[in-house]
Amino acid sequence: MNVTDTKINHGFWKSRKELNKNTSLYAVLKSFEDSGRIRALTGENTNQEKPHIFWESDLAKLMEGAFFSMQQEKDKKLEKICDSIIDKIIGNQEDDGYLNYFFSKHEPDNKFSNLRDRHELYCAGHMLESSIEHHKATGNSKFFDAMEKYVDHIISKFGIDEGKIRGYPGHQEIELALVKAYEHTNNKKFLDLANYFIDERGTNTEGTDHYFIKERKILKEKEKDFDPSILPSWIRDFVNFGPDPHGTTSSSHGDLQGKVFRDLQYWQSHERPIDQKTAEGHSVRALYMFTAMADLARLNNNTHLLNTCKTLWRNILDKRMYVHCGVGSAHIGERFSFDYDLPNDMAYAETCATIALIYFANRLSKIELNSEYADIIENSLYNLLLASTSLDGKGFFYDNYLECDPGYLHYQQRRHGIRDEYHICSCCPPNITRLFASMDMYIYNIFDNSLVIDQYISSEIDLTKSSQGLKIDQKSDFPHKGYSKIEIIESNSNASVIYFRIPSWDKNMIIKLNGAKVDYELVNGYAKINNNWKKDDVIELSFDFTPRFIRTNPNVRFNVRRACIFRGPILYCLEEKDNGKYLNKFVVDSNKTIEEVEDQINSEKIISLNAKGYKFEDTSTLYLHDKPNLTETNLKYIPYYCWSNRGENEMLVWVNEN
């Protein structure tokens, strides 16, 4: 589905989209202006505003979100702002098509010399994506024309032909962008380059011919005379780690990346992508690559590649994903670690990684009908992604904990539970704004020429010019109540199938057509209904929003004898503001009924939960000979997406269970 096929037109998510466009987007824009990202494009930044290799990608994502919004509703102000930035970006294009302000202005001799670390192709991918949506939104092709010229330059430099660079990006992204460009233009050169980057990656892993190893050896030779003693001591301590065993260290003195990011798995280059069986390394890089792999499996009808994608999907969901759809548990390396390693208070779970997980799920849903893909998108949207932005739309999480003790996190040099309005590495905030601006496209799908309803979000979709011959309007009470009504606004009255997702958390969903309960065929997690749909038909869906307890596999060592609570799609948590300090001394009684209360946090109307439980009595003794005493107490739970909106305080998702 394209963003123009569907429109979120009322309800909870309409308010969120308006907040995203009117507040979040401009908050991120201001932070980019203040940090010098835009001035850097023309060399007007101050000495304190040191340009960075991926600043262009930040601007591209932010503009892409604006372009998604403009495709639904014209906005001259936004268009003018973006047009100015575009002119500054493409003003740096060289005659041969090369387009990267940082290398053109600051390191012209180092172009494509450090693919593993320097993000040139990553920036190219984000700019290409942004240029496509700009073309759709405005009809103006100047940005896309410049990016196509850059892609032609990349094609001239990379490939298996003699004299070309047989390399690939250290940070994947351009692959999925090239697929979008192919589908936008039907020009096979984009698809061929995407295929090359995926097929070439991870070749020659047994010897010294691995591209990244050869690249590092060249850089090591260039840097052999570098003396780290000239660096400030705090940098020297990190640089002097010592060389790693894989030969990927850039200096004989060692470097931070050689020790911390010490393996080829970090860049998903330890094997050919088609042979990989587990999700490894940097989580965002991995999931952007998996997304492109799913695209290529579909377009090339490659069953082997599709099976690889499904194997990787299972590894993530079954062993390496948090309950709020966070992925990449390790703070060091922002990466996947090992099966069942899902710490709560040190969770990384980068926002960008869950956005990439949504992309991966979406691409797989284009290939086969499986409600699990839409379940993951729903969980991601309502929990981690909603929580990643403050209720006022101005602050953003980069990492997404499931437990927050501000004191502990302070001494771990981690963000301690306060959303920042500006991140030095600012990939997540503009990624959030573009995801929310484009989320209309994740509500419906087409499978086997039939309409699929994946998300219960108030919206309309017009398929009257398609074979389905339907226009529908959905009014949903999610996430506060379990009810959604779908009206047929127009119909060609022909028989057609509509698939309604049955959420994994509700096996008792009831469907009524014009007031009468209807039976349905269960197909891969969907209710399949074949009907001669008529104008003014009304479909009502009722869902069970009774609060429910969830536990983890006991191999997740952090959550043994703990439980969390969901209500419908919403994850809940305890917060210090409601329950006092030391949240880990509470024990929830999962045998007692949970009370649902209409409540409010700041201006946000919510349903809070009152649960019965116990707490360990306070004592001044550090170590006890006897079991500590428990006293009965009430526990107040709030939606996870609302935490950290009342100042810095403790938060806990997984609570001790009696």
In the prediction, which pLDDT does 251 show?
41
pLDDT value of position 50: 83
Residue with tokens 């037109």: 9
3-class secondary structure, 472: strand
Bridge pairing between strands 450-453 and 495-501: parallel
Angle between helices 174-185 and 142-157 (to 10 degrees): 120
- E-only strand ranges, 454-533: 459-462, 470-476, 483-491, 495-501, 510-513, 516-517, 521-523, 526-532
Taking residue 295's Cβ as centre, other Cβ atoms within 10 Å add up to: 28
Residues 6+ apart with CB under 8 A from 504: 371, 372, 375, 525
Q: What is the DSSP string of 307-333?
A: HHHHHHHHHHHHHSB-TTS-B--BTTT
Q: How high is the pLDDT of residue 245?
A: 45
Distance, in Å, from the CA atom of 552 to the CA atom of 563, rounded to the nearest integer, reads 8
Residue 448's CB: how many other CB atoms inside 10 A? 8
% of the chain at pLDDT higher than 70: 94
d(CA 613, CA 344): 21
CA distances from 323 to 138, 343, 408, 588 (A): 40, 11, 22, 18
Helices (H) and strands (E) in the chain, counts: 21, 22
CB–CB of 464/471 below 8 Å?
yes
Residues 288-345 pLDDT 10s:
999 999 999 999 999 999 999 999 999 999 999 999 999 999 998 999 999 999 999 9
Measure the CA–CA gap between 316 and 354, rounded to whole angstroms: 12
Gap between the Cα atoms of 426 and 429, Å rounded: 6
Q: Confidence class of residue 593 from pLDDT cuts 50, 70 and 90?
A: very high
Q: Is 66 left (phi over 0), alpha (psi -120 to 50) or beta?
A: alpha
What is the spatial distance between Cα 638 and Cα 182, in angstroms, rounded to a whole number? 45
Task: Count CA atoms closer than 13 A to 210's CA, side-chain side.
Answer: 22
Average pLDDT over residues 42-71: 93
Place of tokens 């894989």: 246
- Compute the CA torsion angle 12, 16, 19, 21 (nearest 10 deg): -130
- Please report the pLDDT score of residue 227 as a whole number: 73
Percent over 90 (pLDDT), the chain = 86
Q: Which of 190-194, 233-237, 588-592 has the lowest mean pLDDT?
A: 233-237
Say if strands 570-575 and 562-567 run parallel, antiparallel, or are unpaired: antiparallel
- Tell me if residue 453 falls in helix, strand or coil: strand
Asked whether the predicted pLDDT for residue 586 surpasses 50, the reply is: yes
Asked if 253 contacts 239 with a C-beta cutoff of 8 angstroms, the reply is yes
- Alpha-helical regions (H) of 106-245: 120-138, 142-157, 174-185, 188-200, 211-222, 233-239
Q: What is the mean pLDDT of the chain?
A: 93
Task: Give the pLDDT of residue 261.
Answer: 61
Q: Return the pLDDT at 414.
A: 83
Outline where DSSP puts E strands in 525-640: 526-532, 538-542, 548-550, 562-567, 570-575, 586-588, 595-601, 604-616, 630-639
- For the stretch 481-496, pLDDT in tens is 999 999 999 999 889 9
Model confidence at 282, pLDDT cuts 50, 70, 90, reads: very high
- The token pair that represents 449 in the structure block: 């020429």
For tokens 């000239």, name the residue.
Answer: 230
The residue among 569 and 2 whose pLDDT is bigger is 569
Residue 7 CB neighbours (<10 A): 18
Query: pLDDT tens, 198-257?
Result: 999 999 866 668 999 899 889 888 877 777 667 776 555 545 444 554 455 444 444 445
Tell me the pLDDT tens digit for each residue of 125-141: 999 999 999 999 999 99
Nearest Cα to 361, choosing from 376, 350, 349? 376
**CA 186 to the chain's CA centroid:** 27
Q: Is 466 helix (H, G, I), strand (E, B) or coil?
A: coil
- Per DSSP, helices labelled H in 20-167 are 25-35, 37-40, 55-72, 76-90, 101-105, 120-138, 142-157
> Per-residue pLDDT for 106 more than 70?
yes
Domains and CATH numbers, the chain: 268-437 (no CATH), 443-542 (2.60.40), 548-657 (no CATH)
Alpha-carbon distance 81 to 83, whole Å? 6
pLDDT of amino acid 254: 43
Query: Angle at the Cα of 483 (from 478 to 486), degrees rounded to 5?
Result: 100
What element of type H or E holds 302?
none
Question: What residues form DSSP beta bridges with 527?
Answer: 500, 522
Report the pLDDT value the prediction gives residue 242, as an integer from 0 to 100.
47
Q: Regarding beta strands 403-404 and 570-575, do their DSSP bridges make them parallel or antiparallel, or are they unpaired?
A: unpaired
Which amino acid type is present at position 11?
Answer: G
Residue 138 · residue 78 · CB < 8 Å:
no
Q: What is the pLDDT of residues 422-446, one digit of tens each?
A: 888 889 999 999 999 999 999 999 9
Which one has a higher pLDDT value, 1 or 36? 36
| 86-95, 419-428, 535-544, 580-589: segment of lowest average pLDDT | 419-428
* pLDDT reported for residue 396: 95
When mean pLDDT is compared across 247-251, 356-360, 427-431, 589-593, the lowest value belongs to 247-251
Question: Given the DSSP bridges, would you call strands 526-532 and 470-476 parallel, antiparallel or unpaired?
Answer: unpaired
Cα–Cα distances (Å) from 652 to 196, 396, 554, 565, in that order, read 45, 19, 19, 11
Structure confidence at residue 230 (pLDDT): 72
Q: Please report, as a single letter, which amino acid is at residue 415.
A: R
Report CA Rg, the chain: 26
Torsional class of 514: left (φ above 0), alpha (ψ -120 to 50), beta (otherwise): left
Looking at 77-91, 326-340, 401-415, which range is the least confident one? Answer: 401-415
Look at strands 562-567 and 655-657 and give their pairing: antiparallel
Give the pLDDT band (50/70/90) at residue 48: confident
Omega of the bond prior to 479 within 30 degrees of 0, cis? yes
| Per-residue pLDDT at 3 | 87
Q: What is the pTM of this model?
A: 0.95
Which residues are CB-contacts of 534 (< 8 A; sequence separation ≥ 6)?
488, 491, 493
Residue pair 640/566 in contact (Cβ under 8 Å)? The answer is no
Residue environment code for 335-352, b if the CB has 16+ CB neighbours within 10 A, otherwise e? bbbeebebbbbbbbbbbb
Q: Report the C-alpha gap between 558 and 375 in whole angstroms.
A: 25
Q: Specify the pLDDT at position 239.
A: 54
